[in-house]
Amino acid sequence: MDASTFRTWIREAAQLVVDNADHLTHLDAAIGDADHGINLSRGFQAAVKMLDETDASTPAEVLSTVGRALISKTGGASGPLYGTGFRQAAKTFGEDVDVSAVQVGAALQAALAGIQQLGAATEGDKTMVDALGPAVSAYQAVIDTGGDLAEATRAAADAAARGLQETVGMQARKGRASYLGPRTIGHEDPGAASTVLILRALASAVAEAAP
C-alpha cells in the first residue's frame, strides 16, 4: 500500500463524511453538541486540501499531514482524537514508500492506542473506540490466518459497523454525552458512526488498488 492508495483513502473518507454530515450531526444532537458532522467535514476537507498542496510521497507523510489537518481544523473532541490516531499510525511506517498488510495492522493498533490514551476510553464507554477496537481485532485476525489486505480491511469495516450497533444499548461514560447518563441509551454513538465511514473508505481504497 503506497502513498497514492493512502491519498485515495483520505479523499474517499472525506467524501463519505461530507455526504453523511447531516446524519452524524443528527446522532450528535441526541447525546452531544450537534456538531460532529459539521466539524469532521471541515477537518477532512482541510486534510484533502493540505494533501493537495503538499508533496507527501510516503504513507507516513500522508497520514501525518492528515493528522495535523484534523487537529488544527476540526472542532470539538473529534479533531484531537482522530488527529492523534492518524499521527500515531504514521509513526509506525517510518520512511517506507510501500507498506505491507502487517504494517497497516500495526498502524491501526497504534492509532487505537493513541486515541485510547488521549480519550481515556475503553470498549463499552460508548465512544469511537467501540467501533475501532473491534475493527483492529478483526483486521488482525484475518492477517494472522493468512488473509490479504483487502480481506482484512473489509473485515475491519464490518466489525466497526457491528461495534456501532452495539453502542445503541450502551450508556455513555466518556465525553459530553456522559453527562446525560441513562438518556444516552438507545442512540448510536456519533464517533463510532464516523469511524465506520473512515474504515469503509479504507476498504474501498484498498479494493480499488488491488491488481
Length of the chain, please?
Answer: 211
In this predicted structure, the answer to whether residue 44 has a pLDDT above a threshold of 80 is yes
191 and 163 Cβ atoms separated by less than 8 Å: no
**Percentage with pLDDT > 70 across the chain:** 100
- The pLDDT mean for the chain works out to 96
Residue 19 — pLDDT band, cuts 50, 70, 90? very high
| pLDDT value of position 77 | 86
140-197: per-residue pLDDT in tens? Answer: 999 999 999 999 999 999 999 999 999 999 999 988 888 899 999 999 999 999 999 9
Q: How far is CA 146 from its chain centroid?
A: 24
- Cα atoms in the 13 Å half-sphere on the side-chain side of 38: 10
93-147: per-residue pLDDT in tens? Answer: 999 999 999 999 999 999 999 999 999 999 999 999 999 999 999 999 999 999 9
Which residue has better confidence, 159 or 77? Answer: 159
Which residue has better confidence, 96 or 75? Answer: 96
| pLDDT value of position 33 | 85
**Positive or negative torsion for Cα 196, 58, 137, 206:** positive
| pLDDT value of position 75 | 78
Give the three-state DSSP class for 32. coil
Spatial separation of the C-alpha atoms in residues 81 and 18, rounded to whole Å: 19
In this predicted structure, the answer to whether residue 211 has a pLDDT above a threshold of 80 is no
| pLDDT value of position 208 | 95
Kindly state the cell numbers that stand for 173.
461514560
The stretch 2-22 carries a mean pLDDT of: 98
Strand partners, 2: 98
**Percentage with pLDDT > 90 across the chain:** 93
| pLDDT value of position 125 | 97
41 and 23 Cβ atoms separated by less than 8 Å: no
pTM across the whole model? 0.96
| pLDDT value of position 175 | 82
Strand partners, 98: 2
